[in-house]
Chain A
Amino acid sequence: MYMDTADSQPAELARLDENILLFVRLLRRAGLSVGVTAGLDAVGAVRCVGLASRTHIYHALSSCLVFRPEDSELFDQAFYLFWRNPKFLEKMRNLLLPQMKQTGRAGDDEDMLRRLEEALGQPGRAEDPPAAHTQIHIDARQTASAREQLNHKDFQMMSVDEIAQAEQAVAMLVRKLPMRKSRRMADRPPARRLDFRQSLAGARRRFGLVLPQYQSPAQLIRPLVVLTDISGSMDSYSRMMLHFIHALGTLSPGGVSSFVFGTRLTPVTGLMAGRDVDASLAAVSDAVSDWAGGTDIGTCLADFNQNWSRRVLGQGASVLLMTDGLERGTDADLAFEMQRLQKSCHQLIWLNPLLRFDGFQPKSRSVQTMLAFTDRFLAVHSVHSLGQLAQLLATGDARPDKQIQSWKQRARYFSLARSDNR
């Protein structure tokens, strides 16, 4: 089947090109983002390496169509199915070219197609039944005091109507993301460094008179990484948190990376990037298998530290960790992972909805462990507390948190009290 391009007939070449474009369409359907130019590049690349070797064709296609290492597995499977089995190729053609569509044939082709659907995660299954939509009534007569009440009400205690209102309020809270100093210079006060280019460009306009112009470091949005606990005990808070994250993400596309975790860590940055908040949340809950289950904070943080921290924490990111900190894993592991996380980010902010209880004390061993490696400890159980968080992010307050010292002292106190009792 393989030969050199130079010896091939034009008709065969045309057929090859057509097959490559079909293959590109298959990849696109499987969810790889492949542009039109990438498809044409692939045609050119295969012609360039020739048809002598199967491996070369594979690598030529891969270098034009795959841009992320995690996509390569999907590409491998598609390549194997598409170029190995001529029957399958025929079937694909029928499937993808509407004008050539025929009635389906039974037999092993059907079986093969199902395998590809499974391998490529095609949505062959029926649509999920639409979730029961609640009518949202916004009471026009609502008084200021009612709004005030809503602000301080615990998310867990809210009715469906109130939740909807709170979600809107949360989206309005986020106004600004924290900034950090860039190493680039920009024309902005206070003046730090002489800007020669501007000064001399000005001299041209001023008949040779050189007046100094200054510049100083530009400001950049500080990247934010949000790790949200979605275990059973956190359910109503984590949903609200996802609304908050979505609002943050619209301010700075690409600046906010989000992850959810229960018993395992799931990256959801891509899913949260949609324009519509409800569609984003639905996509997240589809992608996550451990929603409203147990928690294993230590393991999930280990996964994050090992596989993600070097990719998302590189540019001086702040980390928001939202969890109640109640965990059964071993202390030593949790302490190790928390320490590594704190040391690899700008600041680690722990958001704990348990702080809604006035009498909350760090009595649990895991909470004590985690507090030791936390820079800020904040509540996130109401619109009001989320508002405070938004305020903190907007001002980019770099001063150390005073309260965290008292929390750490209390954690040490309870930890000592327990060892005395033993």
Chain B
Amino acid sequence: MDDIVSVEALKTALEEADYICSDGLAVALFLALRQHRPLFLEGEAGVGKTEIAKTLACLSGRPLIRLQCYEGLDISQAAYEWNYARQMVDIQAGNLKSDNLFTADYLIARPLLQAVNHRGKKSPVLLIDELDRADEAFEAYLLEFLSDWQITVPELGTLRAETPPIVIITSNRTREIHDALKRRCFYHWVDYPDLRTELGILAKKAPQAGPDLQQQLVRFVQKLRDENLFKAPGIAETIDWAQALVELNCVAVDPQTVESTMGVLLKYQDDIARIQGSEAARLLAEVQADMLAGTLAAR
């Protein structure tokens, strides 16, 4: 990653690794890499927030350390824990090397400490996924780690990373993350992609679908996102849908196919009920009209 000198170079490198991103995301990521600061990504589910960390690790040959957040997540699962069983056994067997029970030998490293302790040429990519699911107390714990790349273990002292890891934090916005944390990061809101970007993504991720089919289904999904649904389909759903259509040997999107595969795109019964039937037919007709206009203009 150190050899990447410009935003364009980063974008091309990501594209070669099958990740197509907007200018905004590329700039934010470039800044995060160059200035060794965390990148905070917020956006709807299924727009590729987690995927960027995986791609980055794969691209640069760094290990990926993932911390999945959930309510009640605390230090013993996120940062470190003492190996109590070993401590007890050693006390009873009289095996203690020193009279101190709390030494590095007994420390179990969890994702944050693994990132700090990592010894190697390349520092790891640390993915802190869905931070909004953890409670606020955990956010406060992250502050020290994110600004100074260090973790304080009261019994042992402060442990510091040799080289700062690349940190990607994601959030679905089920609650607001505190400003103090956001300000330590570069912030980027990951939006749904535009038509061209989404076509590019589909060409990489579902190449089995023909170009015509790709055009149809991407345009249909784009129209669907304007319909004020409770949960609009993300890019992940578009890819799933394309793969589903390929499995079903479809060469074109027709009302019947849409009807039978709606569950791949929409995950709420109310949304499905709204789109099924005449609404889907209307959107499809619009898509076909748009495509026809496109080919005419091309001539």
| Contact among A63, A305, A310, A315 with B31 in the assembled complex (CB-CB below 8 Å) | A63
- A314 and chain B: residue at smallest CB distance: B174
A66 to B182, CA, bound (A): 10
Report whether B24 and A183 are in contact in the complex, using a CB–CB cutoff of 8 Å: no
Q: Mark A312-333, 1 if CB is under 8 A from B, else 0.
A: 1011000000000000000000
Nearest chain A CB to B185 CB, angstrom units: 9
A111 to B230, CA, bound (A): 42
| A45-63 with Cβ < 8 A to chain B | 45, 48-50, 53, 55-56, 59-60, 62-63
A35 to B7, CA, bound (A): 26
| Contact among A48, A63, A210 with B187 in the assembled complex (CB-CB below 8 Å) | A63
Instruction: Let me know if B223 is at the binding interface, CB within 8 A.
Output: no
Report whether A310 and B174 are in contact in the complex, using a CB–CB cutoff of 8 Å: yes
For A69, list chain B residues within 8 Å (CB). Answer: 42, 189
Report whether B175 and A49 are in contact in the complex, using a CB–CB cutoff of 8 Å: no
Q: Mark B54-79, 1 if CB is under 8 A from A, else 0.
A: 00000000000000001110101000
A364 to B77, CA, bound (A): 54
Knowing A210-B88, A306-B230 touch, does A196 contact B82 (C-beta < 8 A)?
yes
Nearest chain B CB to A310 CB, angstrom units: 6
| Contact among B34, B135, B179, B187 with A182 in the assembled complex (CB-CB below 8 Å) | B135
Nearest chain B CB to A3 CB, angstrom units: 14
- A312 and chain B: residue at smallest CB distance: B175
A254 to B26, CA, bound (A): 33
Report whether B84 and A196 are in contact in the complex, using a CB–CB cutoff of 8 Å: yes
| Contact among B31, B72, B137, B230 with A45 in the assembled complex (CB-CB below 8 Å) | B31
For B188, list chain A residues within 8 Å (CB). Answer: 62-63
For B95, list chain A residues within 8 Å (CB). Answer: none
A38 to B173, CA, bound (A): 22
A62 to B34, CA, bound (A): 17
Instruction: Let me know if B101 is at the binding interface, CB within 8 A.
Output: yes
Instruction: Let me know if B145 is at the binding interface, CB within 8 A.
Output: no
For B84, list chain A residues within 8 Å (CB). Answer: 196-197, 200
A306 to B34, CA, bound (A): 39
Knowing A50-B6, A69-B42, A311-B176 touch, does A200 contact B101 (C-beta < 8 A)?
yes
For B102, list chain A residues within 8 Å (CB). Answer: 201, 204
Instruction: Let me know if B186 is at the binding interface, CB within 8 A.
Output: yes
Nearest chain A CB to B182 CB, angstrom units: 5
- A35 and chain B: residue at smallest CB distance: B183
Instruction: Let me know if B23 is at the binding interface, CB within 8 A.
Output: yes
| Contact among B35, B91, B182, B183 with A37 in the assembled complex (CB-CB below 8 Å) | B183
| Contact among B26, B155, B179 with A67 in the assembled complex (CB-CB below 8 Å) | B179
Instruction: Let me know if B243 is at the binding interface, CB within 8 A.
Output: no
Report whether B175 and A210 are in contact in the complex, using a CB–CB cutoff of 8 Å: no
- A316 and chain B: residue at smallest CB distance: B71
- B138 and chain A: residue at smallest CB distance: A184
Q: Mark B227-255, 1 if CB is under 8 A from A, else 0.
A: 01010000000000000000000000000
Report whether A184 and B135 are in contact in the complex, using a CB–CB cutoff of 8 Å: yes
Instruction: Let me know if B87 is at the binding interface, CB within 8 A.
Output: yes
A411 to B108, CA, bound (A): 60
Report whether B24 and A49 are in contact in the complex, using a CB–CB cutoff of 8 Å: no
Report whether A184 and B24 are in contact in the complex, using a CB–CB cutoff of 8 Å: no
Q: Mark A289-319, 1 if CB is under 8 A from B, else 0.
A: 0000000000000000110001110110000
| Contact among A72, A182, A305 with B189 in the assembled complex (CB-CB below 8 Å) | A72
Q: Mark B1-22, 1 if CB is under 8 A from A, else 0.
A: 0000011000000000000000
| Contact among B35, B176, B183 with A44 in the assembled complex (CB-CB below 8 Å) | B35
Knowing A56-B27, A67-B179, A184-B72 touch, does A48 contact B137 (C-beta < 8 A)?
no
A35 to B180, CA, bound (A): 11
Knowing A37-B183, A220-B135 touch, does A59 contact B88 (C-beta < 8 A)?
no
Instruction: Let me know if B30 is at the binding interface, CB within 8 A.
Output: yes
For A59, list chain B residues within 8 Å (CB). Answer: 23-24, 26-28
Nearest chain B CB to A64 CB, angstrom units: 7
Report whether B179 and A33 are in contact in the complex, using a CB–CB cutoff of 8 Å: yes
For B6, list chain A residues within 8 Å (CB). Answer: 50
Which 7 A-B pairs have CB atoms at the shortest separation, nearest pair first? A183-B72, A59-B27, A314-B174, A196-B84, A63-B28, A63-B186, A69-B189
Using a CB–CB cutoff of 8 Å, the interface residues on chain A facing chain B are 33, 35, 37-38, 44-45, 48-50, 53, 55-56, 59-60, 62-64, 66-67, 69, 72, 182-185, 196-197, 200-201, 203-204, 208, 210, 220, 254, 305-306, 310-312, 314-315, 336
* Given A311-B174, A315-B71, 15 new contacts (CB under 8 A): A44-B35, A55-B23, A56-B23, A60-B27, A62-B24, A62-B188, A63-B24, A201-B102, A204-B102, A254-B136, A306-B230, A314-B132, A314-B175, A315-B135, A336-B270
Using a CB–CB cutoff of 8 Å, the interface residues on chain B facing chain A are 6-7, 23-24, 26-28, 30-31, 34-35, 42, 70-72, 74, 76, 82, 84, 87-88, 91, 101-102, 132, 135-137, 155, 173-176, 179, 182-183, 186-189, 228, 230, 270
- In the assembled complex, 14 residue pairs joining A and B whose CB atoms fall closer than 8 Å, in A order, are A35-B183, A50-B6, A59-B23, A59-B28, A63-B24, A67-B179, A69-B189, A183-B71, A196-B84, A200-B82, A200-B87, A220-B135, A254-B136, A314-B175
